[in-house]
A and B are shown apart, each in its own frame.
Chain A
Amino acid sequence: MLDGPSVAAALKSCGVTHVVWIPDTELGAWNAALSATDGLSLVRVCREGEAFALAAGLWLGGRKPIVAVQCTGFFEAGDALRNVLFDMKIPLFMIVGVRSYYAHQQGATPDTCPVFTEPIVSAWQIPYAVLDNRSSPDDLANAYRHCQAEQRARAVLIAE
């Protein structure tokens, strides 16, 4: 189970310095813990494309940022992530909230977010894992470490 304190602790243990984000309902519950963690800066942006470019700047300057957004913002940020991941080749780690993931599995929502999130993450050639309510903070930390070891961008999709 991922909650604010466990996510903040996992990211800190990995050496992450900045979380550049626009929260959704699920990620938003991490706000207090992420804000209160020493050595971890929460950077609030206005639109998700900004998040990718700002994280790229942090990385150029020697920091270890990640991006955390909802899938809706991930869709919006396509050109920015293309530039950061493929023109600049920055091994950025992303947390992407998938709205209505569980409801979609049960056929209980008209929300099209879950229909498109995984195909679009795949289309951008980003390796990913889905973290659901059986996942642990170690799963998150391991995904980040995998990203760093490979020096290749990677995402975790948070089932919501």
Chain B
Amino acid sequence: MPMTQRQALEVLLHHRTNRVVITTMSSAGIWPQLSDTPLDFTYIPSAMGHGPSLGLGLALAQPDRGVIVVNGDGCQLMSLGNLVTTAHHPANLFVIILDNGHYEVTGGQPHAGAGHVDYAAIARGAGVQRVYSFTTLADWVAGASTALANPGPVVIHLLVDALMGQKTPKPPRLMAEQIRRLREALGVA
């Protein structure tokens, strides 16, 4: 049985260390309840599908820091090419793909390829060498430490439950404030 998104993120919380965590779409509604430090960046309002690209830029700018991007499956499908870009520019970037087969923030509609897309195979085909896939909570709990160890780039596919009728998540604070405190925490303000 797949894990819930909340369970998946609770495991991540134990292993994120001092890395920046960028959340998008559904995860952005849950993560601030688990962690809401200046290094937690809720990417809302976003450009659809571009969370991993934002994270890659940040990881290239701050090579010692490390960046974790929690992406949705629908988001990843909107910009599959960013996996190729990630492989081409090695950085400590960890892209987690929450695979529930649905666009959740729009209320729960299947996306193209739901249940058929092999994200781990796509990531490997894009040239990412460290790729992991976990389909149960027990396996994710057991493998998270290895999967989230440096160096990146790493792609982690997690099979999670789909929730229907969800509301579009709201960010915990305005974008300007998020940017200000993140840059301050990174020492670049």
Residues of A within 8 A of B (CB): 18, 20, 41, 43-47, 49-63, 65, 79-80, 82-84, 87-89
Contacts and interface: CB of A to CB of B under 8 A. Distances in A.
A84 B82 CA distance: 17
A87 B175 contact: yes
> Which applies to chain B's interface (DSSP): helix, strand, loop or mixed?
helix
Interface in B54-75: 54-62, 65, 67
> Which applies to chain A's interface (DSSP): helix, strand, loop or mixed?
helix
B47 A84 contact: yes
Contacts of A43: 60, 89
A57 B56 contact: yes
B188 A62 contact: yes
A98 to B, nearest CB: 23
A77 B187 CA distance: 30
Contacts of A87: 45-46, 175
A69 B85 CA distance: 16
Given A46-B84, A49-B79, A57-B58, A62 B50 contact: no
Contacts of A58: 57-58, 60-61
Given A82-B47, A83-B46, 11 more contacts: A49-B47, A49-B50, A50-B50, A52-B47, A53-B50, A53-B51, A54-B54, A60-B186, A61-B62, A80-B47, A89-B175
B61 A44 contact: no
A15 to B, nearest CB: 14
A83 B164 CA distance: 27
B49 interface: yes
Contact of B61 (A46, A49, A57, A83): A57
Nearest to B84: A46
6 contacts: A46-B81, A54-B60, A57-B54, A61-B58, A61-B60, A89-B175
B121 interface: no
Contacts of A79: 47-48
Q: Which of B47, B84, B175 lies at the interface centre, i.e. has the most chain A CB atoms within 10 A of its CB?
A: B47
Interface stretch (B29-37, B128-136, B176-184): B176-184
Given A50-B79, A87-B175, A89-B176, A44 B58 contact: no
Given A50-B53, A54-B54, A62 B183 contact: yes
B88 interface: yes
A56 to B, nearest CB: 6
A61 B67 CA distance: 11
Nearest to B44: A87
A58 B65 CA distance: 13
Contacts of B62: 61-62
Nearest to B67: A57
A82 B50 CA distance: 12
Q: Which of A47, A49, A57, A80 lies at the interface centre, i.e. has the most chain B CB atoms within 10 A of its CB?
A: A57
A60 B53 contact: no
Nearest to A58: B57
B54 to A, nearest CB: 4
Contact of A61 (B48, B50, B57): B57
